[in-house]
A and B are shown apart, each in its own frame.
Chain A
Amino acid sequence: QKEVEQDPGPLSVPEGAIVSLNCTYSNSAFQYFMWYRQYSRKGPELLMYTYSSGNKEDGRFTAQVDKSSKYISLFIRDSQPSDSATYLCAMSGPSNTGKLIFGQGTTLQVKP
């Protein structure tokens, strides 16, 4: 079993839809949770960075962490074609040495 599970998709939605991306994990020691967006042939771009449980909002993006269920989510409101990319969840902890454990990544396509 992988430490971090993420459905690879692909996920296809119409423009304007609300997108929900999720990851589950098995290591209860994880404390730091991140979402990255990666366009084709580019490096990952940090979208959200959260510590422990709770919600965090930034523009159209909302990240949720439920440590009791070992489940994290990223919501994208009013999705745009420019959101089409691969979304990677990543986590680390508890000492936050920086070494990340990544999910496989979910490919999202937002159709105009």
Chain B
Amino acid sequence: GAVVSQHPSWVICKSGTSVKIECRSLDFQATTMFWYRQFPKQSLMLMATSNEGSKATYEQGVEKDKFLINHASLTLSTLTVTSAHPEDSSFYICSYRTRDGPQHFGDGTRLSIL
């Protein structure tokens, strides 16, 4: 099956730090990438959608200057949480899909801001 690699799996950092999360598709070329965040015991909340080479489309209420998304190639996307604060602590998950297929998810990144 499809493999999506997400890195790092867990990061702890001080308030005010910027954190970059990488997401790679390993065995297929994705057309669309999605970034989600998930709070404990809750479902996934879509943050943004992007296509390779295009600007990301952010969901309502998600600050695009806070959560920078770069989708420079078919196989790599990054999410940078800028000037992170404790309220940004969450579980961040990326996913890819091919043109007509379902989404395949990475294993997530647990972000803890002290």
Chain A contact residues, CB within 8 Å of chain B: 8, 32, 34, 36, 41-46, 49, 88, 90, 96-100, 102-105
Interface 0/1 of B92-114, CB less than 8 Å to A: 01010100111111111010000
Q: Which of B61-99 contact A (CB under 8 A)?
A: 91, 93, 95, 97
**Interchain CA distance A96-B102 in the complex, whole Å:** 9
Apart from A46-B104, A98-B97, A103-B43, what 7 extra A-B contacts exist at CB < 8 Å? A43-B4, A43-B95, A46-B1, A46-B105, A90-B103, A97-B32, A98-B49
Q: How far is the CA of A32 from the CA of B103 in the complex (A)?
A: 11
Q: Which residues of A contact B46 (CB under 8 A)?
A: 99-100
Residues of A contacting B101 with CB < 8 Å?
49
Q: What does DSSP make chain A's interface, helix, strand, loop or mixed?
A: loop
Residues of A within 8 A of B13 (CB): none
CA distance A98 to B30 in the complex (A): 12
Separation in Å of the A35 CB from the closest CB of chain B? 10
- Interchain CB contact under 8 A, A98 and B107: no
Q: Which residues of chain B come closer than 8 Å to A45, judged between CB atoms? A: 105
